[in-house]
Amino acid sequence: MGPPGAGKGTQAKFIAEHFGIPAISTGDIFRANVSEGTPLGIEAKRFMDAGEYVPDEVTNLMVRNRIDEPDAEPGFLLDGYPRTLAQVEELDGMIRHTGHALDAVVVLTVDQEEVVGRLLQRAQTEGRADDTAEVIRRRQEIYGEETAPLIDVYRDRGLLIEVDGLGEVAEVTQRIFDALDAVPQS
């Protein structure tokens, strides 16, 4: 978890590689569907472009199907999911069904202003349609309203690992590894 631009996608790839599991990024799956012009992509695009969340039913079904794939059987890392309380509940149900358990929830903490700069830079290199100043603001707002409350939920469950997301990418990766290596795996 972490606000837009915290470095979730970048770090997710390193963590997944470290543990030999797939990184499942809901944002990446949506973007792939948008570029392929699938019905899911067409549905998701109008929400993404506005910085809004794609409706829970659509997102939940997509994740449910993805974690049922054989490569996720040994375990998986979720990047950008869950983002709402309803998704937390849904995920609990999904993993009860697959026999998995959540080992840890990593939150990358960053300074919001610094992150806006990062995102505007990304807009130039990656050309993401949702990296304009106005949409970034909306994405930050909705993160605060819908997703930040999940931090307390996972803290109460004893799963939360807060990592300082500022600094060099490799430094942040090392902080995450140090914290995760200390977590017993289910």
Residues in contact with ligand AMP by the rule CB under 6 A: 4, 26-27, 30, 47-48, 51-54, 59, 80-81, 83, 87, 130, 139
Options 128, 137, 138, 155, the catalytic residue: 128
Minimal distance, residue 182 CB to ligand AMP, in Å = 26
The verdict on whether 83 is a catalytic residue reads yes
Structure tokens at 137: 């603001």
Q: Which helix (H) or strand (E) holds 179?
A: helix 169-181
Distance CA 82, CA 152 (A): 13
- Measured from the CB atom, the residue of 134 and 178 that comes closer to ligand AMP is 134
3-state secondary structure 54-99: CCHHHHHHHHHHHHCCHHHCCCCEEECCCCCHHHHHHHHHHHHHHC
Residue appearing with tokens 């992150």: 115
Distance CA 185, CA 103 (A): 6
Distance CA 176, CA 153 (A): 20
Options 13, 64, 118, 122, the catalytic residue: 122
- Measured from the CB atom, the residue of 7 and 80 that comes closer to ligand AMP is 80
Distance CA 63, CA 54 (A): 13
Strand partners, 78: 24
Report the residue closest to ligand AMP, judged by CB: 27
- Measured from the CB atom, the residue of 43 and 182 that comes closer to ligand AMP is 43
Minimal distance, residue 41 CB to ligand AMP, in Å = 11
The verdict on whether 45 is a catalytic residue reads no
Minimal distance, residue 148 CB to ligand AMP, in Å = 14
- Measured from the CB atom, the residue of 125 and 182 that comes closer to ligand AMP is 125
The verdict on whether 31 is a catalytic residue reads no
Minimal distance, residue 184 CB to ligand AMP, in Å = 26
Which residues are marked as active site?
8, 83, 122, 128, 139
